[in-house]
């Protein structure tokens, strides 16, 4: 009786139901021209599948522990991001040559300015001054800046190929360097210097660990593995179903193609945003910074290698180099970010500055 009740409880949870519904929507929408109402339904299923996938990745991460647990969520989110990018690039042809760049850059702006700014703002409202570990946050920001420069800045200035593109050898180097640098950071964060990334109290001491939920059982873990796979398949398929409508809507509204990348990044990073804000409300701003900067690193360090691999069979150019406006925004983000994290303390002002940069990015994406 107890077993049956447990099974029914699991089956009725939204994190189980949504991936199944999204997969059903995929079956009925695949290869069909969808009316507006059907597109809206599939888009909702897509968003729900993203959130469910991240939830199940967190369950698996909680089960396997560190350092492997921290990789599960990053890999799951990156699979979602790459799936959306590749799907749209396959369907869009040459006009989506800059989609990978736009999505990755949008992820950097959202995480390093939107999530960081919102977290600092929420935390400072409660405590006036938020405290975090400058060593860990500074190392994370330095890694993000290096990854962004190697993958998004250098292609603008290299001469191996015309336009903001890497040559094949340069792309391979950037992909390998990004992957290795991200792996090195994960090792430092989870093994060598874990204490640099733990939340601090207002007087600069390490916070005591919160009471964690018990480890999920074997059955719950297996269920999460299965549902994670179902959710990721649904994300890929549903994205392919709605991609023509997304691009048509952007064109009909007279918006730049870069807006598509911003939409993808906002969708993928929504769970991290909510988690970071919750952590800031609990006076654990270091956790918020870990989520924000870690997501930025994963977006570059894992997406660029995956896109480089996918470029083997993708036709058309792959534009990775940023334009002048985005180079200015990236430079401003790095400088302001360094000034924010180096003191190890921040107020409402720093949060407002980061949010102002994020607002400028969104506005200029819509009206370049």
- Each residue's pLDDT expressed in tens, for the chain with a length of 368 residues: 455 555 545 544 788 888 899 889 888 887 777 787 888 888 888 888 888 887 887 788 777 754 465 567 667 777 777 777 777 777 666 777 888 898 899 999 999 999 999 999 999 988 889 988 888 899 999 999 999 999 999 999 998 888 898 998 999 999 999 999 998 998 888 888 878 887 776 666 666 655 456 777 888 888 888 888 888 888 878 877 777 777 777 778 788 877 877 877 787 787 778 778 888 888 888 888 988 898 889 889 888 888 888 888 777 788 999 999 999 999 999 999 999 999 989 999 999 999 999 999 999 998 88
Asked if residue 21 lies in contact with residue 45, where contact means CB atoms within 8 angstroms, the answer is yes
129: DSSP letter: S
As a whole number of angstroms, the distance between CA 231 and CA 224 comes to: 10
Count CB neighbours of 177 within 10 A: 17
Domain boundaries, the chain: 2-366
State residue 337's pLDDT score. 95
- Residue 349 is predicted with a pLDDT of 94
- pLDDT confidence of residue 224: 85
The closest alpha carbon to 89, from 283, 294, 303, belongs to: 303
| Rounded CA separation 275/77 (Å) | 14
| Beta carbons of 188 and 277 less than 8 angstroms apart | no
**CA-CA distance, 295 to 47, in Å (whole number)?**
18
d(CA 70, CA 189): 10
Q: Dump the DSSP string for 308-333.
A: HHHTTT--S-------HHHHHHHHHH
State residue 11's pLDDT score: 45
pLDDT at 1: 44
**Helix locations, 65-200, DSSP H:** 68-92, 99-109, 116-127, 134-148, 154-157, 168-187
At 233 the pLDDT is 83
Helices (H) and strands (E) in the chain, counts: 14, 2
146 touches 177 (CB < 8 A) = no
Q: Which of 183, 195, 185 is nearest to 142 (CA)?
A: 185
Q: What is the pLDDT of residue 15?
A: 85
Helices 14-29 and 218-252, axial angle in degrees (round to 10):
50
Q: Do residues 105 and 326 touch, judged by C-beta distance below 8 A?
A: yes
Secondary structure class of 206 (helix, strand, coil)? strand
Neighbour tally for 205: CB within 10 Å? 9
The dihedral region occupied by 255, where left means phi > 0, alpha psi between -120 and 50, and beta the remainder, is beta
CATH number of this structure's domain 2-366, picked from the four choices 1.10.10.410, 3.40.50.720, 1.20.1420.30, 3.10.129.10: 1.20.1420.30
Instruction: Identify the pLDDT of residue 211.
Output: 47
pLDDT at 208: 63
Please report the pLDDT score of residue 213 as a whole number.
61
State the pTM of this model.
0.82
């Amino acid at each position: 009786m107890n077993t049956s009740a447990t099974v029914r409880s699991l089956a009725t949870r939204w994190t189980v139901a949504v991936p199944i519904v999204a997969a059903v929507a995929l079956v009925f929408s695949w290869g069909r021209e969808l009316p507006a109402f059907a597109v809206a339904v599939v888009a909702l299923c897509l968003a729900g599948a993203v959130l469910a996938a991240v939830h199940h990745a967190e369950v698996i991460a909680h089960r396997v522990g560190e350092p492997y647990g921290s990789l599960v969520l990053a890999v799951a989110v990156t699979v979602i991001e790459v799936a959306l990018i590749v799907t749209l690039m396959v369907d869009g042809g040459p006009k989506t040559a800059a989609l990978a760049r736009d999505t990755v850059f949008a992820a950097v702006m959202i995480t390093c300015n939107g999530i960081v700014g919102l977290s600092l703002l929420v935390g400072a409202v409660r405590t006036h001054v938020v405290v975090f570990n400058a060593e860990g946050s500074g190392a994370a920001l330095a890694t993000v800046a290096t990854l962004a420069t190697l993958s998004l800045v250098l292609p603008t200035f290299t001469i191996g190929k015309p336009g903001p593109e890497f040559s094949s050898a340069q792309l391979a180097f950037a992909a390998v360097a990004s992957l290795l640098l991200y792996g090195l950071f994960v090792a430092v964060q989870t093994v060598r210097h874990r204490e640099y990334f733990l939340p601090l109290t207002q007087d600069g001491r390490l916070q005591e660990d919160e009471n964690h939920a018990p480890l999920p059982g074997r059955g719950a873990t297996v269920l999460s593995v299965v549902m994670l796979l179902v959710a990721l398949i649904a994300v890929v398929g549903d994205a392919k179903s709605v991609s023509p409508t997304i691009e048509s809507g952007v064109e009909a509204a007279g918006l730049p193609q870069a807006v598509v990348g911003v939409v993808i990044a906002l969708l993928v990073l929504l769970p991290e945003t909510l988690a970071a804000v919750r952590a800031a409300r609990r006076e654990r701003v270091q956790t918020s910074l870990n989520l924000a900067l870690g997501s930025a690193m994963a977006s570059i360090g894992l997406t660029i290698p995956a896109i480089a691999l996918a470029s083997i069979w993708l036709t058309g150019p792959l534009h990775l180099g940023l334009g002048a406006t985005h180079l200015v925004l990236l430079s401003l983000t790095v400088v302001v970010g360094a000034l924010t994290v180096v003191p190890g303390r921040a107020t409402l002002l720093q949060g407002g500055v980061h949010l102002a940069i994020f607002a400028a990015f969104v506005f200029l994406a819509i009206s370049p």
